């Protein structure tokens, strides 16, 4: 067993891509937490989170930027190394920051740095235009999480943090993007801020697992930023929940998040877009 469901639900073995695919096949939810340091990474392992994402969200949650765009490769490497030191069993995903994968060759160089820092997979944002890059990385042994929907690095193009895929036309594009990126070699597809019905449809159409954030409860996994889980965000997004207000301490909040995702309790209706 990977997850015991006990009050101290520590992972009992190392999580791999194969583990996550098996969980999807068996209809078992897995849990992802976005965090940035060794102590929280260790706590995530002890609470049973199968995946840890070191996201460029650290620009806003840790470094005080107003978006993810100023985040550098050096900052990502620093935090990935810290998370790796604190967590030995979760699968670690590391973001490639803004404009560090504009070409397949550039992506290869920077993905190599992220993997050597301790990540087991890299994450990049964008649609079908990323297919050649994903194919190149996958062929050379670098697993990829493809991030579609609301992609924060495109915030200036979108004109703000807006839900994507609300019209039939835009939903069809995202559905096609997901299939194209899977065919290119993506190992996970992350869906952010899309209607719940679209999250369900894309998840059902893919063989690889999906991770949702504001994408309904029918994705194969959920991800939240640790700051949102602990109620540290001044203006929390609709899809987030403060789990600390229901528990006695930080470990209890993280454990409650893990258990609620596993049980299908989170996200609830109020956390979804339609």
* Segments forming the whole domain that contains residue 93: 17-271
- Domain containing residue 170: CATH number: 3.20.20.60
Residue 121 lies in a domain: yes
pLDDT in tens, 188-220: 999 999 999 999 999 999 999 999 999 999 999
Residue 5 lies in a domain: no
Residue 1 lies in a domain: no
Residue 44 lies in a domain: yes
pLDDT band at 155 (very low <50, low <70, confident <90, very high): confident
Which is more confident, 162 or 225? 225
Which of these ranges, 8-12, 100-104, 163-167, 231-235, has the smallest mean pLDDT? Answer: 8-12
Residue 8 lies in a domain: no
Annotated catalytic, 192? yes
- Express as a percent the part of the chain with pLDDT over 70: 96
State the total domains in the chain: 1
Residue 4 lies in a domain: no
Collect contacts of 236-239 with beta carbons under 8 A, ≥24 apart: 237/161, 238/214, 238/270, 238/271, 238/273, 239/193, 239/213, 239/214, 239/267, 239/271, 239/272, 239/273
Residue 10 lies in a domain: no
Residue 12 lies in a domain: no
Dihedral (C-alpha) 145, 152, 57, 261: value to the nearest 10 degrees?
-60
Q: Which of 192, 234, 269, 270 is catalytic?
A: 192
Q: What angle do CA 136, 116, 14 make, to 5 degrees?
A: 95
Which of these ranges, 5-14, 27-36, 191-200, has the smallest mean pLDDT? Answer: 5-14
158 — phi, psi (to 5°)?
-75, -20
């Amino acid at each position: 067993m990977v997850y015991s469901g006990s009050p101290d639900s520590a992972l009992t073995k190392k999580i791999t891509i194969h583990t996550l695919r098996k969980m999807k096949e068996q209809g078992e939810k897995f849990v992802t937490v976005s965090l940035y340091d060794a102590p929280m990474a260790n706590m995530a392992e002890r609470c049973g989170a199968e995946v840890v994402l070191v996201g460029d969200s650290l620009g806003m949650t840790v470094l005080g930027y107003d978006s993810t765009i100023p985040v550098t490769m050096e900052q990502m490497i620093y935090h990935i190394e810290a998370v790796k030191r604190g967590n030995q069993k979760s699968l670690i995903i590391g973001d490639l920051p803004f404009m560090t994968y504009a070409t397949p060759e550039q992506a290869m160089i920077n993905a190599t740095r992220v993997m050597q820092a301790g990540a087991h997979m890299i994450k990049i944002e964008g649609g079908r235009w990323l297919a050649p890059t994903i194919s190149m990385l996958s062929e050379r042994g670098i697993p990829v999480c493809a991030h579609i929907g609301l992609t924060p690095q495109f915030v200036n193009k979108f004109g703000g943090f807006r839900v994507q895929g609300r019209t039939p036309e835009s939903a069809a594009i995202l559905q096609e993007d997901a299939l194209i990126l899977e065919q290119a070699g993506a190992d996970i597809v992350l869906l952010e801020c899309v209607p719940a019905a679209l999250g369900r449809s894309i998840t059902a159409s893919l063989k690889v697992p999906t991770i949702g954030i504001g994408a309904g409860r029918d994705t194969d996994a959920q991800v939240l930023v640790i700051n949102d889980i602990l109620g540290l965000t001044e203006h929390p997004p609709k899809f987030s929940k403060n789990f600390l207000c229901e528990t006695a301490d930080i470990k209890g909040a993280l454990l409650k998040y893990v258990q609620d995702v596993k049980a299908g309790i989170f996200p609830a209706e109020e956390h979804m877009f339609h």
